[in-house]
Amino acid sequence: MSTSPAAPAQPQRTDTLIPRQALFGNPTRSAGRISPDGQWLSWMAPSSGVMNVWMAPASDPSAARVMTKATERPIPQHFWAPDSRSILYVQDKAGDENYLLYGIDVASGQERALTPFDKTRVQVVGTSTKVRDSILIGLNNRDPRFHDVHRLDLNSGDLTLVQQNDSYVAFVADDDLALRWALRQNAAGGMDMFEMRDGTVADAPREVTSLEDALATSPAGYTADGRTLYWIDSRGRNTAALIAENTETGEKQVIGQSDKADIGSVMQNPTTGQVEAYAVDYLTTEWNALDPAVKASLDWLDGRLEGDFGVQSRTDDDTKWVVWNDPLTGPSKVYLFDRPAGTLTEFYTTRPELAGAPLQPMHPVEIASRDGLTLPSYLTLPLGSDPDRNGVPNAPVPMILLVHGGPWARDSYGFNSYHQWLANRGYAVLSVNFRGSTGFGKDFVNAGNLEWAGKMHDDLIDAVEWAVGKGIAQQDQIAIMGGSYGGYATLVGLTSTPETFACGVDIVGPSNLETLLSTIPPYWEPMVKQFHERMGNPETPEGKALLQDRSPLYKADRIIKPLLIGQGANDPRVNQAESDQIVAAMEKAGIPVTYVVFPDEGHGFHRPENNIGFNAIVENFLASCLGGRAEPIGDAVKSSTAEIAMGAEHVRGLGGTSAVTGE
């Protein structure tokens, strides 16, 4: 698909400060969908300042009504029941990630909890094009480690136990809602995959992976007729291919592959389940169509939309698509595509306030590591610094190294609110897919095994040296920032290479890998072997020694540059103790730190007022370190629930108070 940036909507000024609210506040609308029967449109939009689910007839989108009543925490996700009679959504409490499933009856508007349990996290195990009124869900209300599979009648709310689970990581169902596979981690850290018949799991696994293929190989679902089973599979190759298995003969055929990257997203026919197109996401996303009609539609859209685009919802008869469009240097739009009529109608603009804002192009770049790996990366430069748009400023500028979480995740091309925000404040922004990142083949992932704070950090340092050598970054004006693993990388950067960075921003990052592994959520326990093999095994002397050596907590006294830490009090992945303990160590050593805690957040800050409040602190902190621009804090922190536990005096605009709390 096209990736050329659209021309600016209007002349841009280098002095325009994009408000934080425009980038991190509630979007006007998001997550648009069309019901399977094509009769209804749904989307997320604010109601009383909180993101809720809205709905309107497809024939009259202006007749919209709000369907949910969230008053504090935004609803993160919604989707349609297969029979189009209800809208489903998930919601947790204060960031605890115990997501429950709720349903709203379209006709009556009645809303109810479909999984009314405490300390329970729901999983969707299977949906069907044949069985329209039911789905399979997993619930860990019996044992928090394992999800038992239940059949849920979406209209009556009845739950029927299908499979008690005492050891399996996941299940795969067919279009009849019959369980066909049970997956369990093996001693090597890979996966044993057992076939199932009539609720009975086979004695021996039919398919097995070792650790090296564990993150890139799994069954990916059946066609509706059950004749084809799709796999994403990296066995016997580096990058994961898309494979179709004939379930009668067992013959497997590669139908999608790339030497550069794993197969990513796929488009499947809404009723037959046949794969019609697949995506390869290396530096940018490229779609490859297998179905001629789908190819014609994608080509038609490509000729009319600037930048990147994709399909986010389809009707069962496949005549209507909801299409997103990222013009890359403008606010994203969503369209309704009538395939038979050949018409494209704007559904909404996600953030219309960004129209005409000085948004900057993202440059995909390849960076060489010191040992020969290629690190796919993304660079955004401040407006006016690169008039010839070749990805190198006329003179070096301050830079933020923005490190992704996971680490078994990746950065991708496209509009990025953090890139745009920081570039607008005068910084180059560099995001690096360091070894261990997913999507670039198993060799790249496995090169990160046991390399937390080792070669994974070397890759980040190599990227910094690349930016300095290219004349992009000023060597003494580089900050490191990130969330989750990115927060950990920030702490590693300030403890292991204390002279490299001018300052750091750690968001929900672990400081002690031993305590991190000892406090993982219980539903991660079935996968703990993989954590041990990739990070270090605390149950062995050498593994424990490695984890201690790679934990920034034990090197806290080496920190010599300013540090800002943000933490959610209810984080189930990286407990608050991870931040508390390194702050305490710094305090004991007399090292200044600014520490912000949100009592109503978990792993990241999802309430817009909290995200904006923290980012107000971040940009004023960075301005004091690197000299960039900053929107004044104003009432942003007071409007959030931020508690400044320590170090308010180190951030301009916090007033030097020891605590700031806004309700």
Q: Report, as residue numbers or ranges, the catalytic residues.
A: 484, 571, 603
H or E element that contains 80: strand 77-80
Do residues 332 and 27 lie in contact, with contact meaning Cβ atoms separated by under 8 Å? no
Beta strand 594-598 with 563-568 is: parallel
- Indicate the residue type of 532: H
Q: What is the Cα–Cα distance from 168 to 182, expressed in whole angstroms?
A: 6
**615 by DSSP, 3-state: which?**
helix
Residue 441 exposure: Cα atoms within 13 Å on the Cβ side? 17
H or E element that contains 376: strand 374-380
Q: What is the Cα–Cα distance from 351 to 44, expressed in whole angstroms?
A: 13
Helix 485-496 vs helix 455-469: crossing angle, to nearest 10: 70
Q: What is the Cα–Cα distance from 653 to 645, expressed in whole angstroms?
A: 16
Residues in the chain, total: 663
Q: What is the Cα–Cα distance from 201 to 188, expressed in whole angstroms?
A: 21
Q: What is the Cα–Cα distance from 568 to 73, expressed in whole angstroms?
A: 14
Do residues 150 and 133 lie in contact, with contact meaning Cβ atoms separated by under 8 Å? no
For the record, the structure tokens of 359 come out as: 């948004």
- Indicate the residue type of 107: A
Query: First-to-last CA distance in the chain?
Result: 45
Q: Name the DSSP class of 312.
A: E
Q: Name the DSSP class of 283.
A: S
Closest CA to 604 of 567, 555, 651: 567
For the record, the structure tokens of 379 come out as: 């660079």
Helix 608-626 vs helix 417-424: crossing angle, to nearest 10: 40
Q: What is the Cα–Cα distance from 43 to 347, expressed in whole angstroms?
A: 10
Do residues 103 and 134 lie in contact, with contact meaning Cβ atoms separated by under 8 Å? no
For the record, the structure tokens of 288 come out as: 């490859």
List of residues 6+ apart from 521 with CB closer than 8 A? 97, 572, 573
List of residues 6+ apart from 76 with CB closer than 8 A? 90, 91, 92, 99, 606
Q: What is the Cα–Cα distance from 232 to 223, expressed in whole angstroms?
A: 15
Do residues 186 and 192 lie in contact, with contact meaning Cβ atoms separated by under 8 Å? yes
List of residues 6+ apart from 39 with CB closer than 8 A? 57, 58, 84
**101 by DSSP, 3-state: which?**
strand
Q: What is the Cα–Cα distance from 506 to 495, expressed in whole angstroms?
A: 13
- Work out the angle at residue 492's Cα, subtended by the Cα atoms of residues 486 and 497, and round it to the nearest 5 degrees: 130
For the record, the structure tokens of 69 come out as: 């009543």
- Indicate the residue type of 80: W
Q: What is the Cα–Cα distance from 137 to 81, expressed in whole angstroms?
A: 13
Q: What is the Cα–Cα distance from 313 to 323, expressed in whole angstroms?
A: 7
Rounded to the nearest 5°, which phi and psi values hold at 212?
-65, -25
Do residues 319 and 339 lie in contact, with contact meaning Cβ atoms separated by under 8 Å? yes
